[in-house]
Amino acid sequence: MAQSSRLPRRRFIQQAGAAAAVGLPALIPSRVLGGPGRSGANDRIGIGFIGCGRRNGQLATGNVGKIPESETDVVGAADVNLVRAEQWAKRHGCTPYQDYRKMLDRKDLDVVIYATPEFWHYLPCIHAAQAGKDIYGEQPLSFTIREGQKMVEAVRRYKRVFQVGEQQRSNPLTRRACELVRNGAIGKVKMVLGANYASSWRCGLPGQPVPKKLDWDVWCGPNPVVPYNKDIYLPRAKPGWMSFMPYCGGELINWGCHGLSLVQWGLDTDQLGPAEIWVEPAKPLAELTYTQPESKDRGNKLCSQTIIHYRFPDGVVLKLDGGDPSGGTFIGSKGKISVYRYGYKCEPKGLDEQPLDLKVKLYKSDNHMQNFFDCVRSRREPIMNIERAHRVCTLCHLGNIARWTGRKLHWDYKTETFPGDDEANAYLDKPRRKPYELPETV
């Protein structure tokens, strides 16, 4: 992972930024596009992985959308745990790196796929865009709303293809369910029910010896360096970094970016946001600190006592109060449709069998990873581009902010601020230690 908020490739960045500023074509490797003496569509795309843990392992092996091996080559694998990178290098026949910035210097690298802890999403995304690489980034998009804004800015400035790993949008059944909702199969939508996702808690776990070849200081990134503990380092352990501040926003961010993505899709709010957010009961979430390894049960129980609500500009209310974490239930004047990771169900039964004129047809993708690589070649927008990912992630962040403040918040989705609310606006970003600052200019 990087040890600076800017790449040491200033001349390249300046040239790329100048090209973007005057609207020149995006920087696409000639061996990907083809040309005289080159086959173009048959040329292979060079891939570099950032983060060699559980999630990228699933991506590399095709468990969540197979990488098209016939048209790609893995050229590098980077991880702050050099043992992991070396294991991947041996498995894939590529070069290991402990600092991903060195991998970004490769001329045969066209695409970056990162699956790092969420507080380590912003810099790989920004650096890869600056380096002229297309990007597949895992959910959630960002750790803060401000990070998401900067990531959008970088991807657009350098004209990169960016796909976020929300594979549920590339499922024909979830697409069908959201199309039914969008085309009035359940009548006017009155309310949506989502899962009561947990927020994150404070961590005070005791220190343990740092594993050999793990750069723990860099793993901590923008956060204060704390003693190493395997139950911080692993994503889901006892309980793992996915449940701890300042590494994650909890399952509200992790699972919420999947379930609330389908809610956004069905409501047609990808370009919008809620007008109001509040919690019941109206009080800040009590603090909880884990001082010994244990399950998530205590934290989950605490969060289950606080119900998050969102009201969209058209009056539809989204209430996070039970249900499948991978989706949501749309309640309308004629029935309801529950959509989840692998499908949907209707009430009354057979609602989806009624004749319906599909005036609204959603983006069709049946293979999330293939959709990304197709777009790398065509330069089309992928199904879950960076703006859509940012809006979904923002929805999750807003729920946490409502929990932390314990009162009704008014959100302006156009300016992405809480007008006149200094306390709430303070949660739009976080302090960062040097040299991991969020760059003002990307």
Segment 302-323, tens digit of pLDDT: 999 999 999 999 999 999 998 8
Cα dist from 68 to 50, 74, 132, 191, 236, whole Å: 18, 11, 21, 40, 29
Say yes or no: 52 and 183 in one domain.
no
| Distance, CA of 31 to CA of 40 (rounded, Å) | 6
Say yes or no: 314 and 341 in one domain.
yes
Q: Which of 169, 188, 215 is the last residue of a domain?
A: 169
What share of the chain in percent tops pLDDT 70? 89
| Distance, CA of 112 to CA of 152 (rounded, Å) | 16
pTM for this model (two decimals): 0.90
Q: Which of 113, 136, 169 is the last residue of a domain?
A: 169
Q: Is 433 within a domain?
A: no
Q: For residue range 70-126, what is the model confidence (pLDDT) as tens digits?
A: 899 999 999 999 999 999 999 999 999 999 999 999 999 999 999 999 999 999 999
Domain CATH for 77: 3.40.50.720
| Distance, CA of 163 to CA of 166 (rounded, Å) | 8
Q: Is 364 within a domain?
A: no
Say yes or no: 237 and 207 in one domain.
yes
Say yes or no: 147 and 287 in one domain.
no
| Distance, CA of 14 to CA of 10 (rounded, Å) | 6
Q: Is 44 within a domain?
A: yes
What number is the average pLDDT over the span 272-296? 96
Say yes or no: 206 and 308 in one domain.
yes
The domain in which residue 25 lies consists of 10-169
Q: For residue range 152-190, what is the model confidence (pLDDT) as tens digits?
A: 999 999 999 999 999 999 999 999 999 999 999 999 999
Q: Is 242 within a domain?
A: yes
Q: Is 436 within a domain?
A: no
Q: What is the pLDDT of residue 282?
A: 97
| Distance, CA of 199 to CA of 288 (rounded, Å) | 11
Say yes or no: 195 and 336 in one domain.
yes
pLDDT at 388 over 90: yes
For residue 311, what are its two tokens? 């009201």
Say yes or no: 136 and 228 in one domain.
no
Q: Is 50 within a domain?
A: yes
What number is the average pLDDT over the span 393-400? 98
Q: Is 439 within a domain?
A: no
Say yes or no: 313 and 266 in one domain.
yes
Q: Please give the tally of structural domains in the chain.
A: 2
Q: Which of 127, 147, 169 is the last residue of a domain?
A: 169
pLDDT at 324 over 70: yes
In this structure, are strands 95-97 and 72-78 parallel, antiparallel, or unpaired?
parallel
Q: Is 342 within a domain?
A: yes
pLDDT at 363 over 80: yes
Say yes or no: 352 and 259 in one domain.
yes
Contact (CB, 8 A) for 37 and 30:
no
Q: What is the pLDDT of residue 15?
A: 37
Q: What is the pLDDT of residue 61?
A: 66
Domain CATH for 304: 3.30.360.10
Say yes or no: 147 and 276 in one domain.
no
Q: How many CB atoms lie within 10 A of CB 218?
A: 17
Say yes or no: 189 and 148 in one domain.
no
Say yes or no: 22 and 126 in one domain.
yes
What number is the average pLDDT over the span 52-71? 74
pLDDT at 424 over 90: yes
